Amino acid sequence: MNTDESIAKSTSSLPQPVIGKRPASPLSFPATESRSKSSKRTHSPSPALLSTSVTFSATGYPTNLSSRQKSSFSTSASSSASDSENRGPPKLVANPMTSKVPLATRQAMLTIMYDAFKDLYHTFHPALPVIAHNDALAQEAEVYAKSNKATYKNAMITSIAAIKKRPIPNAPSHPSVGSDATRAQRAVKKTPNYDSYTLSRNDVEPLLLKEETMRLYRFPMEVPSVQGGTRPHSYGEEFLCDRCGERAVIKHDDGLQSCQFHWGRPIKSSAGGQTNKIYACCSAPFPSSPGCQFGPHVFVEKAIEELHSRHPFTQSTSVERSTNLEIATIDCEGVYTTQGMSVARVSVCDADGKVVFDELVRPDDGVEVIDFNTRFSGVTSLSSADLDLEGIRRALDALIGPQTVIIGHAVENDLMMLRMIHHRLVDTIILYPSPFGLPYKRSLRALASEYLGRSIQTGGETAGHSSTEDALATLDLVKHHVRDRSRKKP
């Protein structure tokens, strides 16, 4: 089951939140309260609608009504929508005894989420405010169903940040409109089936990175001339912490309270006609707010010479083998260690999308894990890892030969963690560049959502990312690019 189907299935049985004192049928709207003591008005669908069996689209609009019935529905809906807007943000009604999260917390987060939808839908919200109202309720219900008391708030913050990053829709039918599950269901119907298409070497040869591009993006190009592996770890040395920016002594047993940091990046937020930056993790103002999370101090090194001193770089094998793949899509996950950011999981899929390699990586001798970085790595333990990095590289020699084309997203990071020099590369960062140019790069999550209609990296704090999921999404993005390019040819 793919990610979209699993999201849709996991939310299909959710109870719909109730607005007001009693549930409303799909075609009934709450009566408006009197605007003055001397006048009362209520709005309800016409009798023609009440006697009709109605089916609804993904955005909540009827699809099988006559022109007259549609007109009646539109009039009733717009009137009720205006009343909904007058009420302000949607009110969550649930049993406080059975809710796993305090209702006050849920209502506060729902209100923030509603504001995000309202801002996203600003081009049509004045005429159709009910859409933001309903989508906020649906999205909150989806997040609530997939979280617990400890993870709910951060899951909502992440979801709100993702809503703010969606492209601005110009109509209710736009792909940006809807809750995650609704959009996933729509995308499943519209997205081509990439499983049936196998990339060929002819497809990817025109996409290979040129040397100047690789140097621009700081790919590892040559093995450093100095001896490698001379400083395998830096336990007890002082570095700038990669999280809080303070100088700290690196220890794997430093405790979980030494570093206070924000795990989310600064993002733009619009409110009251002003645009400010906030942290995506907690919506606190950037840069003055204290960190929202505690953990150990960690460090990261990026220069190839520094990485080479930790574990030596080597060229990918020059030996052709019958088991070599023509195309290999690769994704690595990393954890914080006394060596810096160390590879902890490696996944490879072939041109068909079949996962042919998926292994955890044991740290080098003498290297200790400081933090598993689970929110992003998806790794919680390496106790079952059989191979260290040297063993992983030997195993990859059977799959990646001198003519193999490696596909990745920001694949220079994967090569850095693997300490591998390889020049036949395709990178989705280059295929789908940011409109703002370097140093900005589009995330794999955003690309998968926009071009594949797929939600990935939704594991949150406890499950994190999946390198197999990311590798398959990267492969399908290349397939999408190849198909799109072939359609545009004269």
**125, 134 in Cβ contact below 8 A?**
no
- How confident is the model at residue 187, as a pLDDT? 66
pLDDT above 80 for 38: no
Q: According to the per-residue pLDDT averaged within each range, which of 7-11, 347-351, 377-381, 456-460 is highest?
A: 347-351
φ/ψ bin of 71: left (φ > 0), alpha (ψ from -120 to 50), beta (otherwise): alpha
- Residue 425: closest CA among 231, 235, 207, 246: 207
Per-residue model confidence (pLDDT) at position 280: 86
Tokens of 350: 């072939």
Q: What is the mean pLDDT of residues 155-178?
A: 90
Mean pLDDT score across all residues of the chain: 81
Mean pLDDT (whole number) for 316-340: 96
Global pTM? 0.66
What does the pLDDT average to over 154-182? 89
Q: Is the pLDDT of residue 216 over 90?
A: yes
**Exposure of 136 by Cβ count < 10 A (0-12 exposed, 13-18 middle, 19+ buried)?**
buried
- The H-or-E segment that residue 346 falls in is strand 340-349
Residue 75 has pLDDT above 70, yes or no: no
Q: How far apart are CA 325 and CA 334, in angstroms?
A: 24
The single residue listed with the structure tokens 């799109």 is 484
Residue type at position 20: G
Whose tokens are 């009251």? That residue is 272
Question: pLDDT confidence of 8, banded at 50, 70, 90?
Answer: very low
pLDDT at 236: 85
- The C-alpha atoms of residue 349 and residue 471 are separated, in whole angstroms, by 7
Average pLDDT of span 153-178: 89
Instruction: Provide mean pLDDT across the span 214-223.
Output: 95
Q: Helices 180-190 and 3-12 sit at what angle, rounded to 10 degrees?
A: 130
Q: Percent of the chain scored above 90 by pLDDT? A: 54
- More confident position, 358 or 185: 358
Is the CB of residue 233 less than 8 Å from the CB of residue 339?
yes
What is the average pLDDT across 123-132?
A: 91
Confirm if 240 and 251 have CB atoms less than 8 A apart. no
- pLDDT at position 86 over 70: no
pLDDT, position 130: 92
> Which amino acid belongs to residue 270?
S
Residue in 458, 470, 469, 462 with CA at minimum distance from that of residue 7: 458
Read off the pLDDT band of 45 (50, 70, 90).
very low
Is pLDDT of 423 > 60?
yes
> In this structure, what DSSP letter does residue 450 have?
I
Q: Identify the CA nearest to 252 among candidates 382, 362, 387, 367.
A: 367
CA–CA separation, 279 and 285 (whole Å)? 6
In sequence order, which residues have a C-beta less than 8 Å from that of residue 330 and are 6 or more positions away? 346, 347, 348, 406, 407, 408, 411, 414, 471
Longest dimension (CA), the chain: 90
Q: Does residue 489 sit in helix, strand or coil?
A: coil
Lowest mean pLDDT among 12-16, 34-38, 143-147, 325-329: 34-38
Quickly tell me which residue has 């995650």 as its tokens.
Answer: 180
Whether the Cβ atoms of residue 218 and residue 303 lie closer than 8 Å to each other: no
Instruction: Between 16 and 345, name the one with better pLDDT.
Output: 345
Backbone angles phi, psi at 40, to 5 degrees: -130, 140
Mean pLDDT of 471-483: 94
Q: Are 233 and 363 in contact (CB under 8 A)?
A: no
Residue 120 is given by DSSP the state: H
Query: Who has greater pLDDT, 359 or 10?
Result: 359
Q: What is the pLDDT of residue 192?
A: 64
Confidence of residue 272 (pLDDT cuts 50, 70, 90): low
pLDDT at 114 over 70: yes
Tokens found for residue 287 = 């840069």
Amino acid (1-letter code) at residue 160: I
pLDDT, average across residues 371-390? 93
- Mean pLDDT over 235-243 rounds to 91
Inform me whether the pLDDT recorded for 82 exceeds 80: no
* Residue with the larger pLDDT of the pair 34 and 324: 324
pLDDT score, position 437: 87
Residue 87 pLDDT level (bands cut at 50, 70, 90): low
Q: Tell me, what's the pLDDT at 275? A: 81
pLDDT, position 484: 81
Write down the pLDDT at residue 36. Answer: 38
Least confident of 141-150, 219-228, 247-256, 365-374: 247-256
Q: Which two tokens stand for residue 120?
A: 């996203």
Tell me the mean pLDDT in the region 334-343. Answer: 96
pLDDT at 256: 67
Has residue 308 got a pLDDT over 60? yes
pLDDT at 340: 95
Query: Which burial class, exposed, middle or buried, applies to 242 when counting CB atoms under 10 A from its CB (0-12, 13-18, 19+)?
Result: middle
Looking at per-residue confidence, does 488 or 132 come out higher?
132
User: Backbone phi, then psi, for 370, in 5-degree steps?
Assistant: -95, -45
